[in-house]
Structure 1
Amino acid sequence: MPSTATPLFAEPLHVGLPNVGDRVRLMERINGALDRLWLTNNGPLVREFEARIAALTGARHCVTTCNATTGIQIAAKAAGIRAGDEVIVPSFTWVATAHALEWIGIVPVFCDVDEETGTADVAHVERLIGPNTRGILGVHVFGYPCDIEGLSALARRYGIPLLFDAAHALGCTYRGRPIGGFGSAEIFSFHATKFINTFEGGAIVTNDDELAERARAMRQQGLDAEHRVAGPGTVARMNEICAAMGLTALEAMDSLIEVNRRNHGHYEEGLAGVAGVRVRPMAPDEHANYQYVVIEIDAEVAGVHRDVVNDILLGHNVLSRRYFDPGCHLDEPYRSNTSRHAPLPLPRTEALTDRVLSLPTGPAIGPAEISGICEIIRQAVPAYGPAEALV
């Protein structure tokens, strides 16, 4: 239970507070859209935002969407995956990854992960490939890139599309190349909790010309570039106001990453030497956005379970998050619908979900707050004494 002691922080410290950027520049862009009376339907701000994301990722095409969930759905359909097909996806991810597929009748088949990276275990993915497998959906968890080479080799060998949920990975690299240009397509999220946000939004990024053309039509009620009905579609376009926010956020991207990087370093310093507690590292020799600060708590070594530490933090107004507990395979409807989702033990996923905890970061958090959070965690570990010593 949360501590009944006086909270260390008077105001809550959140994971994923929105970054607003230059408000004057944002309002200039919004007012421009209002003056043009062009608020949606592929306006100039949306096109500019798409061009900026394509350039940032080094990909030929960026197709913005109203959110990343519809982005995954459209990308899957554009890649030829249909209702009833199976797609292999790691269970260690936010449940929206699996729900995006389930909602349109595609069957998520959950694979285990590598505990160090938190991303799909390529060997397990291959063991799960069966006669109904029509795709693989990797997830760059916390910005740590998948084993893209290994998954790409599988996709080629079995002749199936490879998609990536890159919701956490804008600005990150794999072997020196920007995330975004791999596989059949990658899908970014620009939800308000992401360090680059468009209020709500997503994007499909791809080097496949035909997939991009199909995705553009699908997000616009099935209309092609000549406004002819090319097939069934939905309404999933981004509007001009969201694109204005995205462009403004991109202008602050370098400074936001630098703040996140410094915060990550402060957490590493503050928690160094605490038995059973470690800050999950970024991918070695890669560029990272440091969007998430995630710690692991080994209960056997620390002498305290992650949930107890989480409750103590909550009692001090530190709104940490247990990303991702439980794994998708233990959430509904996947846990109960065993006729559609065969139960499968995923021991490494289950071990990770029992240990990880996401901590506040971003421009709203500074060294003083991080020092206090680290002190709470240190004192929650028995070797350092009771957390009540903070009051």
Structure 2
Amino acid sequence: MIELNCPIKPNINKLSKLLDQINERGWYTNFGPMHRELTERLEDYLGVRNLLLTNNGTSALQVAARAIGTKSILSTPFSFVATVSAFKWQQDEVAFADIDRKSLNLSPETVKLAYRRGCKADTVVATHVYGNPCNVDELAKLSQKHNFQTIYDAAHAFGIKVRGETVLKYGDVSTLSFHATKIFHTIEGGAMVFKDRANFEKAEEIINFGIRRGHGVSNVGINAKLNEYQAAVGLVNLEEIDHILNHREELFYQYREGLKNIVELPLWHTEANSNGAYMPILLESEKKMRMLSEALNLRNIASRNYFEPSLDKLFIDSHNYGSVNSVSVSNRILCLPMHAHLTSKDVDLVIMSVKETIDKA
């Protein structure tokens, strides 16, 4: 079976040594030495400041929103459910604007249209879908014009750069997921990267029950800290990340070269690299997407209609400024196998299987 995803496995010998150190110290959580080291190494690797680790990517979104004062959002309907449910859970107002037909990211034009039509959202939440950067320049201009803050859901964008600089520097805050299925993981985990230090410090209090170090409880908070065992997994996996990113990027472009005249491929940001987070293709119709998925399954090749459904269909009580493109794409999108254990030979087999199925259709 060629699996859709296969998490990277931390080197057990290296991990055991770090776990022994944690056990000897007896410091298992609450901003311990492993937590500090992983924070510093990630800031250095990603080229960022004000990075704060969390226990998962969903709480990263929620805490980020509270730290910057979000009460209402305008978001993309084409993303993983947590991109929106994180805000619905804490009773923030939610509205949707449509995606760009080619990049599959939140469209600046539809954001502009939403605000012209009376949208009052104080924050735009945009996902770098499949690791493909949003039109960050246009969204930055709109944020100034319409006075909204920006949260980027960068769960897929580990290691992504625009014009040679990390995509995480854009917006007021970017959030990351370190779930086991992601390129880099701590089994469960996440992070926030803040533009302003003051927001970082507020978030640091929120994830620790609202406690300000040395001052007691100063805010309403929750418990969203990353523990030492998970930080140790991150430290071990980070040692392999360059090889992982290079390998996945090679497979990504191998796929796109082999399928470029066979299926529709999302338009990638022209000034960005790729991290091979996912391998999405678009079929002409939902029927053809289902047919291809079933044909691949018969050949022991996994695939997934991801993301589906368009989130405006799940959260029907939210205001919708348009989702025609999102609904169309969500019915026709298919993600092919992509992970660090995949081989070039595997990719050739998937490409051949897609071609043969399409030719027979």
In structure 1, runs of 5+ residues without a counterpart are 1-10, 387-391
* 2:136 counterpart (144, 148, 171): 148
Distance 1:265 1:152, change over 3 A: closer
Q: Give how far 1:44 is off.
A: 0.9
Residues paired across the two proteins, number: 359
Question: Could you tell me which residue of structure 2 aligns to residue 361 of structure 1?
Answer: 338
**Match for residue 389 of structure 1?**
none
**Residue 293 (1) aligns with residue 293 (2):** no
Structure 2 length as normaliser, TM-score?
Answer: 0.94
Residues 57 and 181, structure 1, Cα contact 8 Å, conserved in 2: no
Which amino acid is 1:218 matched to?
I
Alignment check: 8 A CA contact 1:282 1:290 kept: no
- Are the aligned partners of 1:272 and 1:278 in contact in 2 as well (CA < 8 Å)? yes
1:70 aligned residue: 59
1:293 Cα deviation from its structure 2 partner: 1.2
SS in 2 for 1:71: helix
The amino acid that maps onto 1:153 is K
Question: In structure 1, which of residues 220, 223, 230 is the aligned counterpart of residue 211 of structure 2?
Answer: 223
Residue in 2 that maps onto 1:200? 188
Distance in 1 separating the partners of 2:255 and 2:240 = 23
Q: Give deviations 1:188-207, integer Å, cap 9, x for gaps.
A: 00000001000000101113
Counterpart of 1:325 (choices 288, 302, 308) is 308
Name the aligned partner's letter for residue 101 of structure 1: F
The equivalent position to 1:185 in structure 2, one of 151, 154, 173, is: 173
Alignment match of 2:233 (pick from 245, 252, 264): 245
Task: Give the SS at the match of 1:63.
Answer: strand
8 Å Cα contact 2:63/2:203 also seen in 1: yes
Are 1:385 and 2:346 counterparts? no
Q: Distance in 1 between matches of 2:164 and 2:250?
A: 21
Change (3 A) 1:34 1:207: same
Q: Counterpart of 1:168? A: 156
User: Is it true that 1:309 corresponds to 2:292 in the alignment?
Assistant: yes
Is the contact between residue 56 and residue 178 of structure 1 (CA under 8 Å) also seen in structure 2? no
Contact 1:57–1:179 (8 Å) recurs in 2: no
User: Identity of paired residues, percent?
Assistant: 27
Counterparts of 1:283 and 1:30, CA distance in 2: 40
Q: Which residue of 2 aligns with 1:98?
A: 84
> In 1, are the aligned partners of 2:97 and 2:322 still within 8 Å (CA)?
no
Give 1:225 shift: 2.1
Cα distance between partner residues in 2 of 1:182 and 1:43: 29
Q: Post-superposition shift, 1:150?
A: 1.3
SS in structure 2 of the partner of residue 354 of structure 1: helix
Give the greater-gyration-radius structure (CA): 1
Higher helix share: 2
User: When the two structures are superposed, what TM-score results if normalisation uses the length of structure 1?
Assistant: 0.87
State the partner residue of 1:3. Answer: none
Name whichever of 60-69 and 316-325 sits farther off: 316-325
Alpha carbons 2:285, 2:331 under 8 Å: kept: no
From 270, 273, 276, give the equivalent of 1:284.
Answer: 270
1:100-147 deviation per Cα after TM superposition (whole angstroms, max 9, x unaligned): 010000122111111221111112112223463111111111111111
Query: Do 2:251 and 2:347's aligned partners in 1 also have CA atoms closer than 8 Å?
Result: yes
* Residue 102 of structure 2: aligned partner: 116
